[in-house]
Chains A and B, each alone.
Chain A
Amino acid sequence: MSTRVEPIAIEMTVNGRLRALEVAPHHTLLDMLRDDLGLTGAKECCLVGECGACTVIVDGRTVDSCLVLAVEADGAAITTVEGLAADGVLSPLQQAFLDRGAVQCGFCIPGQLVAAQALLAGNPHPSVAEIQEGLAGNLCRCGCYGQITDAVLATAEADVR
């Protein structure tokens, strides 16, 4: 029989907004974002850290939110795909994904965008190989990898100009 465990109060910043809530210890950050905060941009797919559809940024670094307990994010600053566009204006990366045809069904795209955003933050001018390696943790079954790489390169180049 399972034990009933008390929820734990946590606080964090999500997309710049302070959020305080109570979470069960066994709920993941992905559960919390989707079910408690209604932020459904991060997607649920493999739940073993292989597909990257649930990628979010925690304190500047990408994680598979399906493998992070919600309580672990207590005190963290979190960015999800919903936090990429500022005041309704698409980020350069979001725009490049559209312009370069990086989006087919779109289900993996929130994870791809968040991963690419973090990649560029750490390496503003990546090579093709660095982009492919950096985004290898984000599966796209539609096979938009070439277009996604183009979009990241284009964003990096635009930044140079």
Chain B
Amino acid sequence: MSTHRIGDSPNRVGGVGRVTGSQQYAADIRLADVLEARLVTLDCARARIISIDTMAAELVPGVRLVMTAADLPQPVPRFGPQFADRPVIAVGETKYHGEPVAIVAADSKDAAEEAAGLVRVEYEELPAVFTLAAALDPAAPLVQDPALRRNDRLASTNVLREHPIGWGDVDAATADVVVENTYTFPMVTHFAIEPHTFMAAPDGDGIAVWSTIQHPNWLQKVIANILGLPLSKVRVLAPDPGGGFGGKQHAKLEPLVAFAALRAGRPVRLVLTLEQTFQAVRRASCEVRVRTGVNRDGGLVFEDIEADYLIGAYADIADRVVGKGSYPAAGPYNVPAVRIMARSVLSHTVPSTAFRGFGNPQVNWAVESNLDDAARAIGMDRLAIRLRNLARKGDAFIPFDTPADGDWEQTVRRAAELIGWDAPLPPGHGRGIAIGIKSGPTTGLSYSTVRLLGDGSVIVFAGTSDMGQGARTVFAQIAAQELGAPLDWVTVVMGDTAIVPYDQQTSASRSTVLMGNSVLQACRSIQAQLRAMAARLHGLDASQVSVDSGVVQLPGRELSVLEVLEPGLGPLGGELTGNGEVRKDAEPDHPLSGSAAFFEFNCTAVEAAVDEETGDIVIAKHVTVSDVGKALNPLQVAMQDEGAAIQGLGHTLMEQYVFDETGRIRNLGAIDYRIPTSMDLPLELRSAIVENEDGPGPYGSKGMSEGALLCVASAVGAAVRDATGVAIRDLPLTPERVWRALRDRPTP
């Protein structure tokens, strides 16, 4: 029997399909009779649509459908996870470079492509705002129609919302030293290797929608709402996404494809190009002004933080990103006075959305870097200032939230030890250390069903999306552990709203904790049934029987699950079914509508050297340590943390959107938007974990996988500064930017 239980690292469940090529991603699914769709977009940031002539396109042989806003219900339905502001397709005006104005569906890709090129759009280019300065200019054109923002005092500005938060009295606080700086974080994109794919087909009196979506149940609600269908008539099929990172959380073009399929009466499939994914999802850029007050003894007195996030033309989930991401901006420190004002600023750019770290990396870059400035100003070691102020377990470091839920000092000290904080440095090298913290899920609802079949094998139904993080494996491990089945006798069914019970979403590193607990609960329910069954079979009281790790314990003897199950089910066979329901309700008075289920906590330390002639950064060593409570699958934990670290090196060193003077994206696609390759790694990358089994998840686990990305830039920037003496406050740290900073440094 397989011993692949909790704390082991069995091979990924679903891994064989991934190494043989048989795993079916959304774009690999072949439906008979499917129409291939192509989008029609305008090559400008913002335009008034005057007219759309589809006649030439419709004449292309094989074309079955050319659809514009005029072909949709009027007014054109709008949707969005926070505000119903995004139209199914552009209405009257395009508000970002790449917003579709028409969709073409044809028998073949060739015909669709040709026809898309023949749709004639007459339009007038309008001035676009695509920087914070331009969007905040009182004379700036308004991105959102004020009519969509009734009773909103900010409706006549491009500020969508303000998120003030704080405690103590910053204005009254006096500190020995105040350090003030402004930092910027670039606009970057998810660049999942799997481009977004959407497919829809009429399904009886309802509709089936396939999508690379992370939140199938959320999409189901969007589609049902827009089409006026009951949820039971909307089936969302969400094959495991080929990387999500937040970019596949919320509905994008599924409603459009759904309308196209219903209108065509046939399945319609739209596979985005990589370039189009750049025009579908991105991370908000950000400008952060930080004033840090510190006393000479190293004690933090106040943090005064203003963060403007440049979000896109439609809110998507971006405003939540701003509010939740900026919320723990002061860090995991006991700071007596904190004032944070974050603003989500609308612009004529691609709607920004969730992206691993959810708004935290932006403020972390600023506040952690400024903490280094504060340490330098008082002549204190940068590790020491962090340890001096770090919240200890139980400290209410954010007064109205979950107290510090880990022994964080252990994590920080481990990172310092692994980087050799006090060891002599080679000439030209520098070190940096930074801490990242992120508030976990604030609400949640995860149902699951577990079926223990007559032969002892198990099916788990869980609505999480396994986009690489390994949820499928972890749920299988939990079921195997609790019900005594070999791991390869456990099947985990996900991603089909017609079969799998409701899950709120796959985000915020929640699934191991929330869905994991739900699966555990379902298994425990089956264990209770087994106890009753064993008691009945052996003439005992259920209280005399216990079930643990797949073993049924009777007074004086042990039985396997199957030894109870088979006689218990009897000659007709059958199965035992357990349900799980884990709920974290909203707290109406809480600033985030809910306290953190847990905090993700990471400490990253870096040793780097800089080629002063070229500005090249060489990362000699990168250490990332996370407090995960308990690693249910240590290999997967390491993969997540190291992968997050590498992803973080992207926005740290090379990634950014580049715009032309009119707001068009100049570097669409893989040639001029660079992400790290296998040759761009630190010379040494090391991950480590702290396990105190003090998390709210199964077996003491906490959520993880975003933590190791949060403070990568801060640690690298600090190491570069340590190596060169120059503080750079804008990302990415491209060779050219570093070269300029070194060139311009004041001569001592």
Contacts and interface: CB of A to CB of B under 8 A. Distances in A.
Interface of A: 2, 24, 26, 31, 34-35, 38-48, 50-51, 53, 80-82, 84-85, 90, 94, 97-99, 101, 103-110, 113, 131-133, 135-149
B50 interface: no
Contacts of A132: 678-679, 681
B28 interface: yes
Contacts, number: 167
Contacts of B445: none
Interface stretch (B16-24, B485-493, B587-595): B16-24
Contact of B243 (A42, A97, A142): A142
B194 interface: yes
Interface in B652-688: 669-671, 675-679, 681, 685
Nearest to A100: B635
Contacts of A82: 20-22
B191 interface: yes
Interface stretch (B68-76, B642-650, B729-737): B642-650
Interface of B is mostly: loop
Interface residues of B, number: 61
Nearest 9 Cβ contacts at the A-B interface: A41-B21, A107-B242, A105-B468, A106-B18, A143-B643, A143-B646, A104-B468, A50-B670, A81-B21
Interface string B1-41: 00000000101101111111111110110100000000000
Nearest to A107: B242
Contact of B21 (A45, A80, A143): A80
Contact of A147 (B110, B240, B639): B639
A143 B642 contact: yes
B635 A146 contact: no
Contacts of A2: 114
A101 B639 contact: yes
Interface string B620-656: 0000000000000001101110111111000000000
A54 to B, nearest CB: 11
A84 B242 contact: no
A38 B30 contact: yes
A14 B27 CA distance: 21
B681 A146 contact: yes
B643 A144 contact: yes
Given A82-B20, A105-B241, A143-B644, A98 B15 contact: yes
Contacts of B110: 24, 26
B257 interface: no
A24 B638 CA distance: 46
A48 B19 CA distance: 24
B243 A107 contact: yes
Contacts of A99: 11
Contact of A107 (B14, B114, B194): B194
Contacts of A108: 193, 242
A34 to B, nearest CB: 8
Interface of B: 9, 11-12, 14-25, 27-28, 30, 109-110, 114, 190-195, 240-245, 271, 273-274, 467-470, 635-636, 638-640, 642-647, 669-671, 675-679, 681, 685
Contacts of A139: 193, 670, 675, 677
A26 B669 CA distance: 21
B639 A48 contact: no
Given A106-B468, A136-B679, A141-B190, 7 more contacts: A24-B110, A99-B11, A104-B468, A104-B643, A113-B19, A143-B647, A145-B676
Nearest to B195: A45
A84 B20 contact: yes
A61 B422 CA distance: 49
Contacts of B17: 106
Given A44-B271, A149-B678, A144 B193 contact: no
Nearest to A26: B110
A107 B25 contact: yes
B245 A141 contact: yes
Contacts of A38: 30
Contacts of A113: 19
Contacts of A138: 678
Nearest to B636: A101
B20 A94 contact: yes
Contacts of A51: 193, 274, 670
Nearest to B686: A146
A9 B460 CA distance: 48
A80 B646 CA distance: 28
Given A98-B16, A141-B243, A53 B193 contact: yes
Contacts of A39: 21
Q: Most chain-A CB neighbours within 10 Å: which of B18, B192, B635, B669?
A: B18
Given A82-B20, A110-B21, A105 B193 contact: yes
Nearest to A93: B19
B28 A90 contact: no
B509 to A, nearest CB: 15
A47 B11 CA distance: 31
Nearest to B648: A143
Contacts of A140: 193, 678
A105 B645 contact: no
Contacts of B11: 98-99
B394 to A, nearest CB: 34
A133 B693 CA distance: 40
Contacts of B638: 101
Given A98-B12, A142-B468, A146-B681, A103 B19 contact: yes
A50 B672 CA distance: 10
A37 to B, nearest CB: 12
A2 B113 CA distance: 12
B642 to A, nearest CB: 6
A2 B642 CA distance: 49
A24 B635 CA distance: 46
A80 B28 CA distance: 15
